[in-house]
Chains A and B, each alone.
Chain A
Amino acid sequence: MTTPINTDGAKTERSSRVTTTTTSNLAVTIIGTGQEGSVRDQFSGYISRVRGGDMGSLPAIGGFLVLSILFANLNPYFLTTLNMANLFQQAGTLMMLSMALVFVILIAEIDLSAGVTSGVAAGVFVLLVNTYKFEWVTAIVISFVVGVAIGSLIGFFVAKIGVPSFVVTLGLFLGLQGLQLVLLGEGGLYRVETPQVLSIMNDSMEPWAGWVMLVIVVAVAFGMGMWDRTRRTKAGVTNRPMALLLIRVGAIAVGLGIVVFLLNLNRSVSVKAIMGVPYVIPISLIILFVGTFILDRTRFGRHLYAVGGNPEAARRAGIKVTQVRVLAFMACSFLAVVSGIFDASRIGSVDAGSGKTLVLSGVAAAVVGGVSLFGGRGRLSNAVIGAFVIAVIDNGLGLLGLPSGVNYLVTGGVLVLAATVDAISRKRAGSGQLRT
């Protein structure tokens, strides 16, 4: 048997051998992190990423602006502050449902029952308050429990048993409509009698509270930025130029500041003054912040993206894929309950058909905003922007007094357009493989 003894002589004779110079002779190769360079470098880096197909929600923002300019020209009422507040309230329910769906779309699944889940939860809520005289807080907690239970049921069937989520949630979409009928009765309609719930969509904060909200948002944005910088400095890696953070925070301050200012003006068309930021805005901002924090900064969030991108790679990396999937469905149903409460607040009543038609608009909003149905790509903020695009179509066409058929046609067209942009940008990103 041959003995593996190192004979250097034999090795050096072969010229075809792969050899390496000792590392001390090598000039130290610097591998970047994408954080180096001036503001200008960062900006051109961003542009080249966009050109490479990583467009995020840029098309949706563009679409929102184009539609807004169009409607503003067609109808002078569109740009009034009353309509602006209206738009926020119109978008609220859809936005929340769309954010819910992001959690399952990210792992390349779908929850067709999210809409009826929100309806069931709202039904449970009004039933408990109106018929069984529960405290409204207890009733809300119970409806959240019901929602999360539905989510874990879906998760069980999809992740543990392996039934396609499309089928499971289609079944629940039908089944939960039955549950709604059983709970609320055929043609049953329950008024929402809880003022706290009604005020989410119908009342506004005092003007000073709006400014406080602005200060808090700006402080949090700046604080998170500084926290990141401190941690990066401690780890010994480069930071982006400070100017970028200031520009970012400044943009948030100005943008939100204008919104707060406009909403703090009296927007009433009658004698009684209406002013202030609607409660739905701070509530949505808090949920957006917490959700984004979870997705961007926790291991769970990272694993969610990994499972969406390549489940097999995630499994081999030791990620508990089943658990991640179940949690994603639970998160989706949890936020669906929030959307159900928003909807109940806006309409003022709950019936057996609540939430039924909403889910496809929610998916549409997420896709329009730039969340990829193929999984692994998208953020909660994309869903928010997408929801505004859908809502502005609804709002603007409504003001023009066009028949509702036009509304559906335009929304459908926008959705197909958005999905096309997604597919093309994926192709572009894929073609990057050819570059070495």
Chain B
Amino acid sequence: MTIPADQIPVIELTGVTKSFGPVDVLKGVSLAAYAGKVTALVGDNGAGKSTLIKGLAGVQAYDGGVVKFNGEVVTLHSPRDASSLGIEVVYQDLALCENLDIVQNMFLGREETGLGTLEEGVMEREAAETLQSLSVRTVKSVRQKVSSLSGGQRQTVAIARSVLKKAKVVILDEPTAALGVAQTEQVLHLVRRLADSGVAVIIISHNLVDVFQVADYISVLYLGQMVANLEIGETNNSDIIGYITGSKAFEGATA
């Protein structure tokens, strides 16, 4: 895969490998995500998507390969490594505390304090600012309890939480899987705005309609190998399905 001269990817994986015992889950995968772009990662169950993401999140280190962040080689051995670089993952099950409100969830584990006590005002303002910067309009008050929010609103809160501390790379795991039509639309708009604000977004999805709506690039994993890195304008639904199911092999797939 060639890289445009004018753009260095924010995150770039080259020849990444990972095996569990005798099973090679990732057999030398390459992936790049660019600032301001949405990169969709697709592939059938067992293709290695989760393993790839866990490596980026620092939850499960890769066995081999090179990870570059803004062109520099980095190591991702713990979630702390990832978050200090500005890599945030929004997992499918969101992991929000329903008994807490939006502000409390967004700042969970990284509360602002002054004199040893919580700075509610500062957190409230930053939460509202973050939501506003993503043009979120479906939330009335940042002090609403998460238990009173809809699925789409919860996804919004989870995404807003990930960008609160100026994330550079946001990885979204199936953000629309559990949502209705209108809410999917809202979340996809949010993903687009997230990218437009300069974040490199990697989105995992099984829903190709969503992918074609929002992504700039599509990367297809097939049995631990990256079989295609395509620009959205140069491909179509049936091609992608071909790559995913393995019935079509990309010529010159180097990865």
Residues B193 and A20 in contact, CB atoms below 8 Å apart? yes
Cα distance A299–B93 when bound, in Å?
24
Q: Is the interface of A mostly helix, strand, loop or mixed?
A: loop
Contact with A along B100-117 (1 / 0, CB 8 A): 100011001111011011
Which residues of chain B are near A119, meaning CB under 8 Å?
A: none
The answer to the question of B196 belonging to the interface, with a C-beta cut-off of 8 Å to chain A, is yes
Given A297-B118, A429-B147, A4-B98 contact (CB < 8 Å): no
Cα distance A375–B97 when bound, in Å?
11
Given A31-B141, A316-B95, A306-B108 contact (CB < 8 Å): yes
Residues B142 and A31 in contact, CB atoms below 8 Å apart? yes
- Residue of A297, A314, A429 near B109 (CB, 8 A) is A314
Residues A31 and B132 in contact, CB atoms below 8 Å apart? yes
Residues A235 and B233 in contact, CB atoms below 8 Å apart? no
- Residue of A with least CB distance to B213: A18
The answer to the question of B29 belonging to the interface, with a C-beta cut-off of 8 Å to chain A, is no
User: Number of contacts between A and B (CB, 8 Å)?
Assistant: 191
CB distance from B36 to the nearest CB of A (A): 9
Residues A20 and B189 in contact, CB atoms below 8 Å apart? yes
Those of A35-62 within 8 Å (CB) of chain B: 35, 52, 54
Cα distance A1–B230 when bound, in Å?
8
The answer to the question of B17 belonging to the interface, with a C-beta cut-off of 8 Å to chain A, is no
Residues B147 and A430 in contact, CB atoms below 8 Å apart? yes
Residues B192 and A31 in contact, CB atoms below 8 Å apart? no
Which residues of chain B are near A228, meaning CB under 8 Å?
A: 120
Contact with A along B133-144 (1 / 0, CB 8 A): 101111111111
The answer to the question of A234 belonging to the interface, with a C-beta cut-off of 8 Å to chain B, is yes
Cα distance A31–B149 when bound, in Å?
15
Contact with A along B242-253 (1 / 0, CB 8 A): 000000000011
CB distance from A56 to the nearest CB of B (A): 13
Residues B234 and A17 in contact, CB atoms below 8 Å apart? no
- Residue of A with least CB distance to B197: A23
Which residues of chain A are near B136, meaning CB under 8 Å?
A: 29, 31
Those of A1-35 within 8 Å (CB) of chain B: 1-7, 10-11, 14, 16-20, 23, 26, 28-35
Residues A20 and B196 in contact, CB atoms below 8 Å apart? yes
Contact with B along A277-308 (1 / 0, CB 8 A): 00000000000000001000111001101101
Interface size for chain A: under 10, 10 to 19, 20 to 34, or 35 or more residues? 35 or more
Which residues of chain A are near B34, meaning CB under 8 Å?
A: 4
Cα distance A7–B143 when bound, in Å?
42
The answer to the question of A272 belonging to the interface, with a C-beta cut-off of 8 Å to chain B, is no
- Residue of B with least CB distance to A34: B143
Which residues of chain A are near B216, meaning CB under 8 Å?
A: 4, 6
- Residue of B with least CB distance to A297: B117
Residues B121 and A232 in contact, CB atoms below 8 Å apart? yes
Cα distance A18–B228 when bound, in Å?
23
Residues B118 and A20 in contact, CB atoms below 8 Å apart? no
Cα distance A30–B110 when bound, in Å?
25
Residues A310 and B95 in contact, CB atoms below 8 Å apart? yes
Given A18-B192, A432-B147, A29-B135 contact (CB < 8 Å): yes
The answer to the question of A357 belonging to the interface, with a C-beta cut-off of 8 Å to chain B, is no
The answer to the question of B145 belonging to the interface, with a C-beta cut-off of 8 Å to chain A, is yes
The answer to the question of B70 belonging to the interface, with a C-beta cut-off of 8 Å to chain A, is no
The contact sample of 21 A-B pairs, CB cut-off 8 A, is A2-B1, A2-B231, A10-B233, A11-B232, A16-B213, A18-B191, A20-B135, A29-B136, A31-B142, A33-B141, A228-B120, A231-B121, A234-B121, A305-B99, A316-B95, A317-B108, A430-B147, A433-B149, A436-B138, A436-B152, A436-B182
Where the two chains meet, the residues of A that have a C-beta atom closer than 8 Å to any C-beta of B are: 1-7, 10-11, 14, 16-20, 23, 26, 28-35, 52, 54, 228, 231-237, 293, 297-299, 302-303, 305-306, 308-310, 312-314, 316-319, 375-377, 429-430, 432-436
Having A299-B113, A309-B98, A376-B100, one finds 15 other A-B pairs with CB under 8 Å, namely: A2-B1, A10-B232, A16-B212, A18-B185, A18-B188, A34-B141, A235-B119, A237-B128, A305-B99, A306-B100, A312-B93, A312-B95, A313-B97, A314-B97, A436-B152
10 closest Cβ contacts across the A-B interface?
Answer: A10-B233, A235-B121, A317-B109, A309-B97, A376-B99, A309-B99, A232-B121, A313-B95, A432-B148, A34-B143
